[in-house]
Structure 1
């Protein structure tokens, strides 16, 4: 398998999952939106995964599910009953559909206003803080009774949450201000697979 990534993005999540499964893989750093990378993934975004002769796989949550299902012995999923599967899918959907978009106005403020004035762009960025706090508060609730996002065990939802929660370091209310999230993040930071993936991407 070959993972295409850009440092600091949610591509850190499948990178950690690949470390956890213990299988052989390559990781290639790419420039988002570059001409060379657009030939690999026309959307120009990471993460992307190549596995054998199959077409390029995209979307972090889908890639994580593929890794989990392809390596069942790594036990990165939940029980196969409908309710357990729903809870994992619900967590992944929250991370994809609510958590990630909450940061878009913060990192890409000019996309959310027709004004080019610094004051307008700053207003967009500051308006994102309330939405980021809302999704962080929900993540706090998911973690309040344990160390893992879903199912009371390590799953593919954990590296996904970890990769994006790191972004709060750039906001007025970082992850250290949420007690359960802080416990989760510290546990993840102590994990050897997480450390390996971060080192490979030049992250600290």
Structure 2
């Protein structure tokens, strides 16, 4: 397998999942500005939408969209327990967490990464939306659970961790959400996550 990635963005969640299941995979860095890969490929031919992650399987098929790729990888190694079995209520809950991360938390960071940043009332509105996402994540973790699904680390955590970590990039202090702050630190301390951060050049 080959993962097309850019350091620190949502492809990192897939990178973590690949590492957690002990997969045999190659990495190909993508410059999202030029849509060119590290080896000189035109990335738009791999994903016409132009964003990562993209996971090329051994047979040549390319999978897109982090939530779908994460579940696929978990299912290739069920003993990893990175996802509950398909068809169970627990799997539905996992999908709920993945969809929340994609449609609410991830999307709410969008204005702060735009070429033209929001200002004034528009920035306040965008920040309020983002904060409401962190409020929801804080409420999920408020019962003392270690991870989104309870005590078991799953692919939902890989995605939540990456997106929540973007708070550092925009200067958002996670202190108002202490359980989220602990969650981010807990996931960051996992050995396989540390390996991924080092490979992406985000940790010395």
Corresponding position: 1:77 with 2:83: yes
Structure 2 counterpart of 1:6:
6
- Residue 138 of structure 1: how far off its partner (Å): 0.6
Distance change >3 Å, CA 172–CA 196, structure 1 → 2: closer
Structure 1 counterpart of 2:71:
65
Structure 2 counterpart of 1:133:
131
Of residues 6-15 and 27-36 in structure 1, the stretch that sits farther from structure 2 once superposed is 27-36
Structure 1 counterpart of 2:39:
none
Structure 2 counterpart of 1:186:
185
- Which consecutive unaligned segments of at least 5 residues does structure 1 have? 111-117
Q: Pairwise mapping of residues 133-172 of structure 1 onto structure 2 (< 5 A)? A: 133-145=131-143, 146-171=145-170
In structure 2, how many angstroms separate the alpha carbons of the residues matched to 1:142 and 1:58? 27
TM-score, normalised to structure 1's length? Answer: 0.88
Of residues 193-202 and 75-84 in structure 1, the stretch that sits farther from structure 2 once superposed is 75-84
In structure 2, how many angstroms separate the alpha carbons of the residues matched to 1:150 and 1:197? 22
In structure 1, how many angstroms separate the alpha carbons of the residues matched to 2:199 and 2:124? 32
In structure 2, how many angstroms separate the alpha carbons of the residues matched to 1:133 and 1:198? 26
CA contact (8 A) 1:4 1:30 kept: yes
Structure 2 counterpart of 1:203:
202
CA contact (8 A) 1:106 1:126 kept: no
In structure 1, how many angstroms separate the alpha carbons of the residues matched to 2:126 and 2:103? 15
CA contact (8 A) 1:140 1:178 kept: yes
CA contact (8 A) 2:81 2:152 kept: no
Q: Pairwise mapping of residues 12-27 of structure 1 onto structure 2 (< 5 A)? A: 12-27=12-27
- Residue 177 of structure 1: how far off its partner (Å): 3.3
Structure 2 counterpart of 1:101:
107
Distance change >3 Å, CA 198–CA 176, structure 1 → 2: farther
CA contact (8 A) 1:109 1:122 kept: no
Name the SS of the counterpart of 1:28 in structure 2. Answer: strand
One of 44, 51, 54 as aligned partner of 1:45: 51
In structure 2, how many angstroms separate the alpha carbons of the residues matched to 1:176 and 1:10? 23
Distance change >3 Å, CA 160–CA 10, structure 1 → 2: same
- Which consecutive unaligned segments of at least 5 residues does structure 2 have? 37-41
- Residue 18 of structure 1: how far off its partner (Å): 0.6
- Residue 157 of structure 1: how far off its partner (Å): 0.4
